[in-house]
Amino acid sequence: MEALLCSEIPTNIISSLNVLSSSSYTWPIMTSSPTIMNGENLPRCDWDLSLSAVVSSPPTGSDSIGAIEFDPAGEILATGGIARKIRSYRLSSLLDDHVTASESCICTPAKLSSLKWRPDLSGRVIGSGDYDGVVTEYDVEKQVPVFERDEHGGRKIWSVDYTLYNGTPLGASGSDDGTIQMWDPRNGGLGETVRPGGGAAICSVEFDPFGGSSLAVGCADRNAYVYDIRRLVDPLIVLDGHTKTVTYARFMDAHTIVTGSTDGSLKLWDIEKGRRVVRTYRGHVNSRNFVGLSVWRHGGLFVSGSENDQVFVYDKRWEQPVWVGGLGQPDRFGSDQRFVSSVCLRQVDEDWCTLVAGGSDGVLEIFSGKRS
């Protein structure tokens, strides 16, 4: 079974809806109201999450899911990975009509590691980063490529993101070649090239989703970086605290970033006050693979996949996970090596939580629930 492995980063760069029950539990406690012990609130989950839909992968071939993304309206769900396909699903069809066939399926020339919808085109175009170092944008309705950039010298792209900054669309990609490329997606012109980690692989790039000028970067040199896109010469902040590759850097809000690492921890950083670590979170298992990290800004939650085939939900207020769910479908390969390889939280609702998890065997599971 082929998977998206952090170990693939070269050392020279520094290191059908089935009626299934999902094994979910809280860690270490789940209550609907605060409980006081030794003067502190115990972790609690404010959401009644349960398994809502399962999409099985094709019976043959490797289909590890490396990316899951909702369109800006939160209506269409896209997945991509080892199978060289971008599959799109309408969320309402999955949840209400139990239709698990994808609405569209775009075949791509290379394995995919990242997907991101263009924010300026109303969910019509999705960008992908692939193992051949190419960023390709596709018209999802017509299922055809509409734009291509090849600026990473054939080295794997691990992350792609877009933003609208002062009304101007910008794209960014991070690669094994140790660079971040930033460009105007309207014409594809090369805007900036940044090399933050002295050549170490770039694992994650994310623009400030609140419209600010910051760009968060996760790097194989064990650091995360925050840049001002108006002046990319040097990072504004270096977030130094992880002991292994920083695989993800996500904005919780305009002043707070969550990072994930193969040291098995997540960290919450206050970037308004320099590089202060607000809290460190542990519970999930992550020492080798890209397992996914997604933030739900409305609910103050973030979710991580895990190498023990479970999904861990954290509330930013507590260091321990508040909810843990196992992927319920047996590994179709008959092995015990399946893990959660990608996760995504829907951003639209404030009183309804939708969590999507993808496995290294290609199975997609959707958990949802209202505030308890």
Burial of residue 120 (number of CB atoms within 10 Å: 0-12, 13-18, 19+):
middle
| More reliable by pLDDT, 101 or 210 | 210
pLDDT of residue 209: 95
**Residue whose token pair is 């970033």:** 257
Confidence of residue 190 (pLDDT cuts 50, 70, 90): low
Helices (H) and strands (E) in the chain — how many of each?
1, 31
Mean pLDDT of 35-44: 57
pLDDT of residue 258: 98
In CATH terms, the superfamily for domain 6-370 is YVTN repeat-like/Quinoprotein amine dehydrogenase (2.130.10.10)
- DSSP 8-state code for residue 94: I
- DSSP 8-state code for residue 92: H
Q: What whole-number distance in Å separates Cα of residue 162 and Cα of residue 215? A: 10
pTM recorded for the entire structure: 0.88
β-sheet bridge partners, residue 313: 303, 323
Confidence of residue 37 (pLDDT cuts 50, 70, 90): very low
- How many Cα atoms are found within 13 Å in the side-chain-facing hemisphere of 127? 28
Specify the DSSP element, H or E, that contains 125: strand 125-130
Across 307-316, b (16+ Cβ under 10 Å) vs e yields: bbbbbbbbbb
| More reliable by pLDDT, 176 or 122 | 176
Whether residue 54 is predicted with pLDDT greater than 80 in this model: the reply is yes
Alpha helix stretches (DSSP H) within 60-102: 91-92
pLDDT of residue 275: 79
Across 6-33, b (16+ Cβ under 10 Å) vs e yields: bebbeeebbbebeeeebebebbeebeee
Confidence of residue 330 (pLDDT cuts 50, 70, 90): low
3-state secondary structure of 361: coil
pLDDT of residue 102: 81
Across 156-192, b (16+ Cβ under 10 Å) vs e yields: bbbbbbbbeeeeebbbbbbbbbbbbbbbebeeeeeeb
Q: What whole-number distance in Å separates Cα of residue 198 and Cα of residue 76? A: 38
pLDDT of residue 1: 37
- DSSP 8-state code for residue 119: G
pLDDT of residue 262: 98
Average pLDDT for the chain: 87
Q: What whole-number distance in Å separates Cα of residue 358 and Cα of residue 355? A: 10
pLDDT of residue 172: 97
Could you read off the pLDDT of 227-280 as tens digits, one per residue?
999 999 899 999 999 999 999 999 999 999 999 999 999 999 999 987 799 999
Least confident of 156-165, 181-190, 244-253: 181-190
Whether residue 28 is predicted with pLDDT greater than 80 in this model: the reply is no
| DSSP class per residue in 200-245 | PPEEEEEE-TTS-SEEEEEETTSEEEEEETTB-SS-SEEEE--SS-
Order of strands across the sheet that contains 293-296 = 24-25, 323-326, 310-315, 301-304, 293-296
Whether residue 169 is predicted with pLDDT greater than 70 in this model: the reply is yes
Q: What whole-number distance in Å separates Cα of residue 151 and Cα of residue 134? A: 7
**Both ends of the chain: CA-CA distance in Å?**
39
Torsion of CA 157, 252, 361, 58, to 10 degrees: -90
Whether residue 358 is predicted with pLDDT greater than 90 in this model: the reply is yes
